[in-house]
Amino acid sequence: MSTAILARPTLGQRVAGPMVATFEFLRLLATRPIGLAGFVGIVFFIFLAFVAPLFVPLRNDPSLVDIYQAPSAAHPLGTDFQGRDVLNQIVYGGRDILTVAILAALVSTFIAISIGSVAATVGGRLDTAILAITDVTLTLPKLILLIAVAAILRPTSFVFLAVILGLLQWSSLLRQVRSQVLSLKERDYVEAARSLDLGLFHIVFREILPTMRSYIVIHFILAMTEAMYAQVFIIFLGLVPVSGSNWGIMLYFAQGQGALFYKDSIWYILSPILAVSLVQLSLVSFAGALEDIFNPRLRGA
């Protein structure tokens, strides 16, 4: 009894383990400047979208005398068609965009890893049927299908929009997860779990998927980038009821209110484009660094 108690890790040991792993990860990330810049960019935009609005007051009152003003000390990124501050809209416009991207990536990743791993582990007719459905889904033009679905359903909430995006982008990841699981399920530790009759859930979610954590994280990040572009595109087309304020809605109003015809409105047009592009660049750069860090052969190179 006393031996068992002494063998238990202390609270300090349980905390020290993740801390050491975190410092080691940051050390490896620091050796990759592009990936480190991407990580800093992600942290910055998360802070901008979710923390900065708590301290920056919303300035949403129109001002007819300030319409399409050039950048100045009062308005660092100029003003829009109603005289509202563009920088203030950038601060308040990132939360919905990032939330939808994260939720859509969660939905698509969950579908891909759960169904794909179960299909590869079970095999047989289930695997054949799921693979056939996936192949059919891969042949569908996703952009046209997204436009049609958004036009028909007219999602009124961004959560509903995230679910739609997630349901349209799982197929390619599912095939990749299935291929990985097909190679992993022949490993000795999986065979041992199968011989002990630990059950399908344990084999898939406790033995196979934990070894694919890095692979899943990288594809989750890439799924976020795809979801961001897709939602901004359909918002720009006016296929989602326009309410509130986000970077996609800024582009929609810039196009609808004739911002292209005003000389000093360039920052109103470029600001949301740059915000979306920089988030995408940060995500892709960070994902590339993760692939190097998690892959021992690439890490050595």
9 or 50: which leads in pLDDT: 50
- Cβ density class 61-99: b for 16+ within 10 Å, e for less: eeeeebbbbebeeebebbbbbebbbbbbbbbbbbbbbbb
User: Could you tell me the CA-to-CA distances from 134 to 143, 176, 269 in Å, in that order?
Assistant: 17, 11, 38
Indicate if the pLDDT at residue 5 is higher than 50.
no
CATH code assigned at 145: 1.10.3720.10
Domain count of the chain? Answer: 1
Model confidence, pTM: 0.83
pLDDT for 39 equals 92
- Classify residue 14: in a domain, yes or no: no
- Classify residue 11: in a domain, yes or no: no
pLDDT for 107 equals 92
Backbone dihedral region of 124: left (phi > 0), alpha (psi from -120 to 50 degrees) or beta? left
- Classify residue 195: in a domain, yes or no: yes
pLDDT digits 0-9 by tens, 89-105: 999 988 989 999 999 99
Phi–psi pair at 68, nearest 5 degrees = 50, 50
Q: Domain containing 250: what range? A: 85-284
Q: Which residues contact 187 (CB under 8 A, 6 or more apart)?
A: none
Indicate if the pLDDT at residue 146 is higher than 50.
yes
pLDDT digits 0-9 by tens, 188-232: 777 777 777 777 777 777 777 777 777 788 888 888 998 898 888
